[in-house]
């Protein structure tokens, strides 16, 4: 029994090292000059080159601000629309409700690459290429599918007695949603927030094909431009990767408890 316990702990330790070592290596290398990188490949080297971060920030600050703006606007719109739609699907009966929700669920089966060309042609006809609208609106529409599915199932898991009691006290539909549904749905709102931000922040293909103006490029495409300018200078390149990942790391650390409560609350049940 002890041998099995020791074996399991050892395997977990090995997996943890294999998982986190690339990130540790990235962080260590971001402080190195090119000669230090070749002389001290695996270990930290001194002196630390903090200028790598200054150079990286100067190059990607604009891309980072564009990503924050696009991701923030997308998140607000997705949370607002999906929470309302999920509440209506869960708490109101109307003709075609099951059919309409089934259609939403079926959209989960459609890969994003399949809609890339039609969506691009639509954006081109609307003359939205090289604008912030072309980055925000498709991300909002695409993010609705998973968000509505999660929010509807979470609202459906809340006991109906709570809503009946509020109705008896004279609460309207909007009061039920704003003062009862949303406060109870905070864990799932956290899940939707993280899932949506990860998808929007890390998306590379859509901004790459729709935005050619570097002033409007987001951080994923900005890093590609940055790397082409710093070929052979690994320190600034890796520093740029660290800076680009910091907003998501900070967000996840702040919302870890909310995220875990959301994914363990049974809201994934259909």
Task: Tell me the domain boundaries of the chain.
Answer: 19-49, 50-263
Residues, the chain? 270
**What φ, ψ does residue 65 adopt, rounded to 5°?**
-65, -35
pLDDT of residue 222: 85
Q: What is the pTM of this model?
A: 0.83
| CA–CA distance, 155 with 135 (Å, rounded to integer) | 30
Per-residue confidence of the chain (270 residues) as pLDDT tens digits? 666 767 678 888 888 788 888 888 888 888 888 888 888 878 888 888 888 898 889 888 899 999 999 999 999 999 999 999 999 998 888 888 889 988 888 888 888 778 888 999 999 999 999 889 999 999 998 888 899 999 998 898 888 888 888 888 887 878 888 888 888 888 888 888 888 988 899 888 899 899 888 888 898 888 888 777 766 677 888 888 888 888 888 887 887 777 666 666 654 444
Cis bond leading into 209, ω under 30°? no
Cβ atoms within 10 Å, residue 151: 30
Please state at what angle helix 234-254 crosses helix 2-29, rounded to 10 degrees.
Answer: 130
pLDDT of residue 252: 79
| CA–CA distance, 105 with 14 (Å, rounded to integer) | 38
| CA–CA distance, 168 with 230 (Å, rounded to integer) | 66
Question: Which residue shows structure tokens 């690994």?
Answer: 234
Q: Which of 151, 155, 152 is nearest to 192 (CA)?
A: 151
CATH number of 50-263: 1.10.3720.10
What is the torsion angle, in degrees rounded to the nearest 10, for the CA atoms of residue 72, residue 204, residue 118 and residue 197? -30
Q: Which of 80, 64, 89 is nearest to 196 (CA)?
A: 80
């Amino acid at each position: 029994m002890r041998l099995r316990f020791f074996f399991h702990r050892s395997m977990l330790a090995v997996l943890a090292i294999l998982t986190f070592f690339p990130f540790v290596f990235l962080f260590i290398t971001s402080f190195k000059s090119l000669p230090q990188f070749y002389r001290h490949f695996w270990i930290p080297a001194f002196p630390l080159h903090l200028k790598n971060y200054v150079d990286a920030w100067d190059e990607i600050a604009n891309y980072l601000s564009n990503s924050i703006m696009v991701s923030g606007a997308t998140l607000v719109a997705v949370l607002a629309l999906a929470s309302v739609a999920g509440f209506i699907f869960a708490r109101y009966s109307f003709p075609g409700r099951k059919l309409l929700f089934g259609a939403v669920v079926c959209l989960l089966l459609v890969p994003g690459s399949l809609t890339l060309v039609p969506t691009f042609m639509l954006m081109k006809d609307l003359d939205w290429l090289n604008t912030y609208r072309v980055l925000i609106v498709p991300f909002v529409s695409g993010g609705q599918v998973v968000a509505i599915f999660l929010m509807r199932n979470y609202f459906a898991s809340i006991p109906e007695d709570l809503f009946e009691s509020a109705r008896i006290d004279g609460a309207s539909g909007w009061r039920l949603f704003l003062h009862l549904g949303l406060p109870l749905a905070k864990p799932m709102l956290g899940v939707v927030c993280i899932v949506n931000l990860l998808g929007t922040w890390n998306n590379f293909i859509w901004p790459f094909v729709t935005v050619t103006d570097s002033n409007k490029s987001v951080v994923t495409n900005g890093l590609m431009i940055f790397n082409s300018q710093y070929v052979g200078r690994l320190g600034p390149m890796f520093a740029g990767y660290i800076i680009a990942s910091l907003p998501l790391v900070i967000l996840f650390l702040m919302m870890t408890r909310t995220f875990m409560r959301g994914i363990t609350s049974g809201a994934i049940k259909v």
